[in-house]
Amino acid sequence: MAEKKTLAASVRSGTGKGAARSVRREGRIPAVIYGGGDAPQPISLDRKTATQLIYAGHFLTTIFEIDVDGAKERAIPRDYQLDPVKDTVLHVDFLRLKAGSRLRVDVPVHFINVETAPGIKRGGSVNIVRHTVEMFVPADNIPESITADLSGYDFNDSLHISAIKLPEGCKPTITDRDFTIATIAPPAVEKEVAPAAAAPAAAAPAKDEKKK
């Protein structure tokens, strides 16, 4: 299940690029909470705290109870914007989570028993087709990851989504096929270099001229 954390925020009055730049000059990051049938709520976050949360990983699958000047909102990050040069956080979008709601998220795939797979023990390698799976999940039961078990997989075997036990209430957005998550590839075999063709036989000596 997705991790749950608390996050302090402050209401911000202005919107637009000018207001956002003003918030950043104050050492904070502009953000917004939207969805759930309510009007968007512009907020600001402490720059250091937000940066640490984003770069710690799993940010987009973490549920936050956001304390906006004493009023609490339950939300999940949907996107964040980074400066293309400095990689500093510029803006964060949060989606409100209402009881009983469902949402679409990319859930990471966690692979286990890779080293014990027969194909890996014989020198093969894992070809990961999907590092994440897009799924519809309950807002109150967002999985942190799903587990792909490679036990027993040999050369050219494929692990499909049907082989993974999904958390209750979770369903892939792709429903028309049993799509592939990973395959086991055999070791690459170098082709033998064909021996160089034998040099053509030396030209036969010219026949003696006929005697006159």
Q: Burial letters for 164-177: b for 16+ Cβ neighbours within 10 Å, e otherwise?
A: eebbeebebeeeee
The β-bridge relationship of strands 180-185 and 158-160 is antiparallel
Residue 21, H or E segment: helix 17-25
Q: What is the pTM of this model?
A: 0.69
Q: Which two tokens stand for residue 135?
A: 């799924």
Domain boundaries, the chain: 4-98, 103-185
pLDDT along the chain (212 residues), means of 10: 83 84 93 91 95 91 91 92 93 90 91 97 96 92 92 97 95 97 88 53 52 48
Strands 63-68 and 4-11: parallel
Q: Which residues are registered as beta bridge partners of 76?
A: 95
**Residue among 42, 45, 26 nearest 34 (CA):** 42
Q: How far apart are CA 104 and CA 119, in angstroms?
A: 34
Instruction: Tell me which CATH code domain 4-98 carries.
Output: 2.40.240.10
Homologous superfamily assigned to 103-185: Ribosomal protein L25, C-terminal domain (2.170.120.20)
CB 37 within 8 A of CB 46: no
What's the confidence (pLDDT) of residue 193? 54
Classify the C-alpha dihedral 80-91-32-73 as positive or negative: positive
Q: What pLDDT is stored for residue 44 in this prediction?
A: 96
Exposed, middle or buried, 50 (CB in 10 Å: 0-12/13-18/19+)? buried
Reference 102, options 51, 138, 142; nearest CA is: 138
Residue 180: phi and psi, rounded to 5, are -85, 135
